[in-house]
Amino acid sequence: MGSAPATGTAPQRPAGETPFPAGFVWGAATAAYQVEGAAAENGRTPSIWDTFSRTPGKVRNGDTGDIAADHYHRYRDDVALMSRLGLKAYRFSVSWSRVQPTGRGPAVERGLDFYRKLVDELLEAGITPVATLYHWDLPQELEDAGGWPQRVTAERFADYAAIMAGALGDRVGMWTTLNEPWCSAFLGYGSGVHAPGRTEPASALRAAHHLNLAHGRAAGILRDRLPAAAQLSVTLNLHQVRPLTASTQDADAARRIDAVGNRIFTGPMLRGEYPGDLLADTAHLVDWSGLVRDGDLAEIARPVDVLGVNYYTPTIVSTPASGTGDTRNDGHGNSDHSPWPGSEHVAFHLAENRPRTAMNWSVDPEGLYDLLLDVTRDHPGLPLMVTENGAAFDDYMSPEGRVEDPERIAYLRGHLDAVQRAVAAGADVRGYFLWSLMDNFEWAYGYSKRFGAVYVDYATQRRTPKASAHWYADVIRHHALPPAPEVRA
Ligand code: IFM
């Protein structure tokens, strides 16, 4: 989203407490492979992330999600903790291979039971469950059969969606088909920094289409089988793309990354068509007319009730000629292979003079403001939900047993302020989910990056709310941002 060099253009909110809109949902998010553990319990079979994390050199320190934050066994305590923090909603994902081992055939009741019990516990605590069907953990057997580059995987996904609608449809009212399909397609099959670790540009594009199709088919099934009040969504990590300079070359670099980063999903999902410039940029890699069959676009464009938007940092781009940027490192992990098929020559930059997180991502709340308004401009009237936002820092426990994380509080304050200003400027933002409820398995970085509002001591699995968790609880309680602390000169 976005194509003009844009920073700091938004009006500033006057100091003081300003309430969020009535009904604004306050939540926190996790994902199955990142928190559950219990990798081989009760019939669960390996997903691509089990295989990938066991492959030497793929994940930092050889970490795996075998135990993770042990949420599978500790979900009751975790829900109690959410309740103490005053969370109103919990966004979790379902492990496909836990409920339908190997990705085909009948469901396993013991696997479904975990999610039934989790949801019941949430409902009892007055916390709204928000279920995501797919957060990157494809059953390994489906990858062995070709994975997302194969059309049949979208069909398998539709069967799985039907299983989940049957199991949880009576108690879950908010559903998300896919989380960040860009990462599944382009980090998984393009740069290979994520599972399954393939580096095939054409396969990445094919995967993107089949993920779109999977979303559309699942949305159709959920719509048919869930009560009419159920809210359907898909979550995209929309890149807030900014050209480095006002040159036409950098504008073209931004257009390209916007096409293969954003519009490859928003085009078919929200407009029923792939953007012409994307098709042109990638025509040498994929025969789109063979890939996209009659009827696909109508299926993919089934209306959603809300669009989930994940935002962490902007994406600043140029042609290599115009600056010192890096074509290999776009902030998604270093690889000799690009996750930007057809636009491999684009260079990526980090904003100067901005704080950075432990991911080396720059802290830039204006990116979220601009993104929410860009989506609103491009898709007027579309309700939005910030389904992930947060930051990793090098948190540690003090000898007194406290975790002070003022950088995370500053990050959250800045981004919540941006949400509030975007709402005032016309974006229909319905809620905010902090990433993440607790420290967890950060994919190729393993446990080396801590995104949680709650600190997890992995040796004991003890949970300790960080200062940011208490701060967020306060925001939720007041339904407003507290006044910013005075800055002393
Ligand atoms: O941890 C991830 C999450 O799984 C998807 N969105 C980005 C987060 C931070 O990298």
Would the pLDDT of 279 be above 80? yes
Helix/strand/coil (H/E/C) assignment for every residue in the chain: CCCCCCCCCCCCCCCCCEECCCCCEEEEECCHHHHCCCCCCCCCCCEHHHHHHCCCCCCHHHCCCCCCCCHHHHHHHHHHHHHHHCCCEEEEECCHHHHCHHHCCCCCHHHHHHHHHHHHHHHHCCCEEEEEEECCCCEHHHHHCCCCCCCHHHHHHHHHHHHHHHHHCCCCCEEEEEECHHHHHHHHHHHCCCCCCCCCHHHHHHHHHHHHHHHHHHHHHHHHHCCCCCEEEEEECCCCEEECCCCHHHHHHHHHHHHHHHHHHHHHHHHCCCCHHHHHHHCCCCCHHHHCCCCHHHHHCCCCCEEEEECCCCEEEECHHHCCCECCCCCCCCCCCCCCCCCCCCEEECCCCCCECCCCCECCHHHHHHHHHHHHHHCCCCCEEEEEECCCECCCCCCCCCCCCHHHHHHHHHHHHHHHHHHHCCCCEEEEEEECCECCCCHHHHHHCECCCEEEECCCCEEEECHHHHHHHHHHHHCEECCCCCCCC
Beta strand 384-389 pairing with 306-310: parallel
pLDDT band at 10 (very low <50, low <70, confident <90, very high): very low
Confidence of residue 488 (pLDDT cuts 50, 70, 90): low
Give CA–CA dist 90/454, Å, rounded. 14
Q: Distance from the CA of 114 to the center of ligand 1, in angstroms?
A: 23
Atom of ligand 1 nearest to the CA of 136: 4
Residue 29 CA, ligand 1 centroid: distance in Å: 10
CB 6 within 8 A of CB 364: no
pLDDT in tens, 23-80: 999 999 999 999 999 999 999 999 999 999 999 999 999 999 999 999 999 999 999 9
Q: Which of 213, 98, 193 lies closest to 149, judged by CA?
A: 213
Whether 77 is covered by a domain: the verdict is yes
CA 462 remoteness from chain centre = 26
12 falls within a domain: no
CATH value at residue 339: 3.20.20.80
User: 328 near 334, Cβ under 8 Å?
Assistant: yes
Pocket of ligand 1 contains residue 439 by CB under 6 Å: no
- Taking each helix axis from N to C end, the angle separating 406-424 and 467-478, rounded to the nearest 10 degrees, works out to 30
CA–CA dist 435, 130 (Å, integer): 14
The pLDDT tens digits of the residues spanning 162-217 come to 999 999 999 999 999 999 999 999 999 999 999 999 999 999 999 999 999 999 99
In a domain, 113, yes or no: yes
- 148 in contact with ligand 1, CB cutoff 6 A: no
Q: Return the residue whose CA atom lies nearest to atom 5 of ligand 1.
A: 180
Please name the residue whose Cα sits nearest to atom 10 of ligand 1.
Answer: 442
Determine whether the shortest distance from the Cβ of 442 to ligand 1 is under 6 A: yes
Q: How confident is the model at residue 7 (pLDDT cuts 50, 70, 90)?
A: very low
- For residue 8, the model assigns a pLDDT of 37
137 lines ligand 1 (CB under 6 A): no
Tokens of 117: 């019990």
Q: Please state the pTM of the whole predicted model.
A: 0.96
Q: What is the mean pLDDT of residues 83-102?
A: 98
Distance from residue 81's CA to the centre of ligand 1 (Å): 21
441 lines ligand 1 (CB under 6 A): no
**Per-residue pLDDT reduced to its tens digit, 383-409:** 999 999 999 999 999 999 999 999 999
Residue 487 lies in a domain: no
Which one of 92, 193, 435 would you pick to mutate in the ligand 1 pocket, going by the greatest count of ligand atoms within 8 A of its CB? 435
CA-proximal residue: ligand 1, atom 2 (nearest)? 442
* 170 to 110, 164, 165, 234, 276: CA distances (angstroms): 18, 10, 8, 20, 41
Which among 35, 42, 92 is positioned nearest to 65, based on CA atoms?
35
Residue bearing the CA closest to ligand 1, atom 1: 442
The per-residue pLDDT for 328 is: 64
Closest alpha carbon to 132 in 87, 108, 78, 168? 168
User: Which residue has 């989380």 as its token pair?
Assistant: 179
Active site annotation includes 141: no
Residue 1 clears pLDDT 80, i.e. is over it: no
**Is residue 116 situated within a structural domain?**
yes
Dihedral angle computed from the Cα positions of residues 363, 369, 374 and 376, in that order, rounded to the nearest 10 degrees: 140
Distance from residue 361's CA to the centre of ligand 1 (Å): 13
**Residue pair 129/171 in contact by the 8 Å Cβ criterion:** yes
Helix 109-124 vs helix 152-168: angle between axes, to the nearest 10 degrees? 50
Average confidence score pLDDT of the chain: 95
Atom of ligand 1 nearest to the CA of 442: 1
| Ligand 1 mean position, distance from CA 215 (Å) | 19
Is the C-beta atom of 31 inside 6 A of ligand 1? yes
pLDDT in tens, 226-249: 999 999 999 999 999 999 999 999
For the stretch 293-340, pLDDT in tens is: 999 999 999 999 999 999 999 999 999 877 667 776 677 888 899 999
Active-site entry in 36, 143, 180, 299: 180
pLDDT score at 334: 81
Cis preceding-peptide flag for 436 (omega within 30 of 0):
yes
Tally of structural domains, the chain: 1
Cβ of 36 less than 6 Å from ligand 1 = no
Contact between 306 and 384 under an 8 Å Cβ cutoff? The reply is yes
Asked if the structure places residue 458 within a domain, the reply is yes
Atom of ligand 1 nearest to the CA of 34: 4
Instruction: For residues 212 and 1, give the distance between their C-alpha atoms in angstroms, rounded to a whole number.
Output: 18
| Cβ atoms of 149 and 196 closer than 8 Å | no
pLDDT score at 331: 79
Identify the residue whose C-alpha is closest to ligand 1 atom 9. Answer: 442
Using the mean position of ligand 1's atoms as its centre, give its distance from the Cα of residue 284 in Å. Answer: 31
323 Cα–ligand 1 center, Å: 29
CB 266 within 8 A of CB 295: no
Whether 10 is in a domain gets the answer no
pLDDT for residue 15: 52
Question: Is 442 marked active-site?
Answer: no
Structural domain contains residue 296: yes
4 pLDDT band, cuts 50/70/90, is: very low
Task: Give residue 215's identity as a one-letter amino acid code.
Answer: H
Count the alpha carbons within 13 Å of 477 in the hemisphere toward its beta carbon. Answer: 11
- Asked if residue 364 has its Cβ within 6 Å of ligand 1, the reply is no
Domain that holds residue 35: 18-481
Query: Among 36, 121, 299, 388, which one carries the catalytic annotation?
Result: 388
Q: What is the per-residue pLDDT for 489?
A: 56
Is residue 486 pLDDT above 80, yes or no? no
Give the Å distance between the CA of 318 and the centre of ligand 1: 25
pLDDT in tens, 96-131: 999 999 999 999 999 999 999 999 999 999 999 999
The answer, yes or no, to whether any atom of ligand 1 lies below 6 A from the CB of 33, is no
Distance CA 188, CA 170 (A): 34
pLDDT value of residue 325: 77
- How much is the pLDDT for 288? 98
